[in-house]
C-alpha cells in the first residue's frame, strides 16, 4: 500500500498490545511523580508529622527498588501475562486503599504495596515487549526498536506529566484523586491483558533460586532504605551504621550464592557483555540526575519563584513535550546511527541542559528555566538507547531477567542520586546562609551546587557510553549484544552460553 513503511506494515495486529503495555508503563511512571505534589495536603488531612511525610514516596521507592530483580525473574518462571495481570490488580487494590486511608500508617502501607505491584508489572511489561517484538534479524530489531521508542516516549513524558496531573487532581478533587485515578486504569489494563497478551506458562526450565531471591531482595531493600534515610537521620546515626553493613553483607552473600549455584537467579555471565554493562551503568548514572532534579526543580519553582503546585507542574511540561517529540523518532535514529552515537548525543544535550540550569539566580522562568528544560527533553533519546542496549540478546527465557536488572539499575541510581544531590543542596544552602536563617537566595545557591554535582555525574555517564556501547550503526546482534560487524573486546569475555541472557 502506498505511503506505508515496513515497520508500519509489521505493526499491524500488534498495535493494541503495544498500546496496552505503553499505557501501563506510563501509569507506573506517572504514579511515582504524581503523589509528590499532593504531599502537603496529605500531611494536613491525615495528621502526618512533618518528618514522616517523606515516607509516602519513600515506601514506594523502597519496595519498588527492592523487588525489581525478583519481579523480573518471576516472570520467567510463572509466566509474564499472569504476573503482569496479577500485579495490575494488586496496584489497583493498593491505590483504592490509599485513597480511602484513614491514618498515616494505612497510606504508607498502601504506597509500599503500590511499589511492590509496580516491581511485578514493570519488568513484565518490558519483557512482553521483547517477546512480542523479537529481534531475530535486522527487520525484527528495527521493529523492536520502534516499540521500545514508543515505550520510551511514555517514560520520558511520565514524570513531567505526573507533576502537572498531581497539581490538577489535588486542586480540583483533593489528594485522594491521585490514588483513585489509578483504579479504573489498572483494572482496564488487567482485563485487556487477558484478551491481548499471548498466554504463557513461564519459560525457565531451571529450579527457582530461593536463597538468591531472599538475599538480593532483602539486601536491596536495606540498601535503598539507607540511601533514603542517610541524608535526614545522619550518615553516622546508629541505625544507618548497622543497616548499611548488613545490606552490603546480604548483597555479598547474594553474589557468592550466584557464583556457586548451577542455576542462579541472576547468571553472572550476562555481565561479561560490554553493551549490557554500559547500558546499566548509563541507566544508573542518568537516573542519579533526572530523579532528584525533578525535586530540585519543583522546590526551586515553589520556594524561590513562588509558584503554586499547579503552576509548577505546568512549568515543567516543556520538558515532557520535547522528550516526547525526540523519543517518537528514536527508533528511526537507532536504525541509522549506532547506539553509542545516539546515547552520546542525548547525554551531551542533557548535560548542556543541566549546566545551563545550574546558572539559576532567581530570575524569570522564561530566561533561566525554559531553555534548559527544552535541552533536557531533547536528550530524551538516551532512555530509549540504553533500553535497547540493555535488552539486546535477551532470549524469551531471560527477557524478564534483563528487564529486572535494567530497572534495578535505574532505581538504585535514583536512590543514590537523591541522597547525593539533596545532601549537596542542603550543605550549599546552609553554607551560603553562614549560620543565619536560610532564605530564597541561599536556597538558590544550594540548588546551583546540586546541579553542578549533577553535571559531574552526567560526564561519568558520557564516559561509560563512549567506553562500553557499540559504535557501529544498527541494532545490536541478538545473540551477542554487539552491533553488526563489531568484534568482542576479548573472546573469553564475550563468547559462550554464559554471556547469553537466559
pLDDT in tens, 107-118: 999 999 999 999
Of the candidate ranges 112-121, 183-192, 474-483, the one whose mean pLDDT is the lowest: 474-483
The whole-number pLDDT of residue 140 equals 66
Average pLDDT over residues 319-333: 83
Of the candidate ranges 178-182, 314-318, 328-332, the one whose mean pLDDT is the lowest: 328-332
How far is 125 from 148, CA to CA, in rounded Å? 11
The whole-number pLDDT of residue 497 equals 34
The whole-number pLDDT of residue 488 equals 39
Its pTM stands at 0.81
Q: Which helix (H) or strand (E) holds 343?
A: helix 339-357
Average pLDDT over residues 288-300: 83
- The string of DSSP codes covering 175-223 is TTHHHHTHHHHHHHHHHHHHHHSPP------S---HHHHHHHHHHHHHH
| Percent of the chain surpassing pLDDT 70 | 86
State yes or no: pLDDT of 252 exceeds 50. yes
Q: What is the pLDDT of residues 370-407, one digit of tens each?
A: 999 999 989 988 888 888 888 776 665 667 777 888 88
Residue bearing the bigger pLDDT, 460 or 331: 460
State yes or no: pLDDT of 181 exceeds 80. yes
- The string of DSSP codes covering 427-492 is HHHHHHHTTSPP-HHHHHHHHHHHHHHHHHHHHHHHHHHHHHS--SBSPPPTTTSPPTTPPPS-HH
How far is 502 from 491, CA to CA, in rounded Å? 19
The whole-number pLDDT of residue 436 equals 85
The whole-number pLDDT of residue 285 equals 94
Q: 68: which residues sit within 8 A by CB, 6+ positions away?
A: 119, 122, 123, 220, 404, 407, 408, 411
Q: What is the dihedral of CA 364, 323, 329, 332, to 10 degrees?
A: 120
Closest C-alpha to 309, from 449, 174, 154: 174
How far is 126 from 118, CA to CA, in rounded Å? 12
State yes or no: pLDDT of 472 exceeds 70. no
| Percent of the chain surpassing pLDDT 90 | 29
State yes or no: pLDDT of 10 exceeds 70. no
Q: What is the pLDDT of residues 43-96, one digit of tens each?
A: 889 988 766 777 888 888 888 888 888 888 888 788 889 999 999 999 999 999
The whole-number pLDDT of residue 357 equals 93
How far is 14 from 132, CA to CA, in rounded Å? 8
How far is 293 from 112, CA to CA, in rounded Å? 23
Instruction: Specify the residue for cell string 546480604.
Output: 250
Q: 121: which residues sit within 8 A by CB, 6+ positions away?
A: 24, 28, 71, 83, 84, 87, 88, 91
How far is 159 from 320, CA to CA, in rounded Å? 8
How far is 411 from 420, CA to CA, in rounded Å? 14
Amino acid at each position: 500500500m502506498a505511503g506505508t513503511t515496513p515497520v508500519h506494515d509489521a505493526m499491524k495486529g500488534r498495535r493494541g498490545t503495544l498500546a496496552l503495555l505503553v499505557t501501563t508503563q506510563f501509569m507506573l511512571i506517572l504514579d511515582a511523580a504524581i503523589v509528590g505534589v499532593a504531599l502537603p495536603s496529605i500531611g494536613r488531612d491525615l495528621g502526618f508529622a512533618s518528618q514522616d511525610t517523606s515516607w509516602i514516596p519513600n515506601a514506594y521507592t523502597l519496595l519498588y527498588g527492592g523487588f525489581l530483580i525478583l519481579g523480573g525473574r518471576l516472570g520467567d518462571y510463572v509466566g509474564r501475562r499472569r504476573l503482569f495481570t496479577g500485579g495490575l490488580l494488586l496496584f489497583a487494590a493498593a491505590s483504592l486503599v490509599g485513597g480511602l486511608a484513614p491514618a498515616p500508617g494505612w497510606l504508607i502501607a498502601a504506597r509500599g504495596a503500590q511499589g511492590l505491584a509496580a516491581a511485578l508489572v514493570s519488568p513484565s511489561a518490558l519483557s512482553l515487549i521483547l517477546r512480542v517484538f523479537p529481534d531475530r534479524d535486522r527487520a525484527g530489531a528495527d521493529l523492536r526498536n520502534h516499540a521500545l521508542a514508543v515505550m520510551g516516549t511514555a517514560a520520558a513524558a511520565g514524570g513531567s506529566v505526573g507533576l502537572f496531573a498531581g497539581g490538577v487532581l489535588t486542586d480540583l478533587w483533593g489528594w485522594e484523586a491521585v490514588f483513585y485515578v489509578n483504579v479504573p486504569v489498572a483494572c482496564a489494563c488487567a482485563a485487556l491483558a487477558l484478551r491481548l497478551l499471548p498466554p504463557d506458562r513461564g519459560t525457565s526450565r531451571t529450579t527457582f533460586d530461593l536463597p538468591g531471591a531472599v538475599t538480593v531482595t532483602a539486601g536491596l531493600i536495606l540498601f535503598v532504605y539507607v540511601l533514603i534515610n542517610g541524608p535526614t537521620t545522619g550518615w553516622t546515626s546508629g541505625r544507618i551504621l548497622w543497616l548499611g553493613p548488613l545490606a552490603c553483607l546480604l548483597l555479598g552473600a547474594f553474589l557468592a550464592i550466584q557464583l556457586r549455584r548451577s542455576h542462579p537467579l541472576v547468571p553472572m555471565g550476562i555481565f561479561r557483555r560490554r553493551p549490557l554493562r554500559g547500558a546499566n551503568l548509563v541507566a544508573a548514572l542518568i537516573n542519579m540526575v533526572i530523579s532528584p532534579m525533578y525535586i530540585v526543580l519543583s522546590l526551586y519553582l515553589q520556594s524561590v519563584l513562588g509558584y503554586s503546585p499547579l503552576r509548577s507542574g505546568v512549568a515543567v511540561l516543556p520538558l515532557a513535550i520535547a522528550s516526547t517529540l525526540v523519543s517518537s523518532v528514536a527508533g528511526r535514529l537507532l536504525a541509522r546511527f549506532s547506539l553509542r552515537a545516539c546515547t552520546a548525543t542525548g547525554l551531551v544535550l542533557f548535560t548542556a541542559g543541566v549546566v545551563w540550569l545550574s546558572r539559576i539566580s532567581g530570575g524569570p522562568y522564561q530566561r533561566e528555566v525554559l531553555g534548559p528544560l527544552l535541552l533536557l527533553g531533547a536528550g530524551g533519546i538516551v532512555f530509549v538507547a540504553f533500553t535497547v542496549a540493555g535488552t539486546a540478546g535477551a532470549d524469551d527465557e531471560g527477557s524478564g531477567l534483563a528487564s529486572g536488572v535494567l530497572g534495578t539499575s535505574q532505581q538504585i541510581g535514583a536512590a543514590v542520586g537523591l541522597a547525593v544531590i539533596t545532601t549537596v543542596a542542603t550543605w550549599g544552602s546552609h553554607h551560603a546562609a553562614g549560620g543565619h536563617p536560610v532564605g530564597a537566595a541561599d536556597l538558590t545557591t544550594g540548588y546551583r551546587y546540586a546541579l553542578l554535582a549533577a553535571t559531574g555525574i552526567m560526564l561519568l555517564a558520557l564516559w561509560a557510553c563512549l567506553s562500553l556501547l557499540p559504535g557501529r550503526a544498527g541494532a545490536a546482534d541478538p545473540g551477542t549484544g554487539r552491533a553488526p560487524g563489531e568484534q568482542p573486546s576479548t573472546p573469553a569475555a564475550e563468547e559462550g552460553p554464559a554471556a547469553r541472557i537466559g
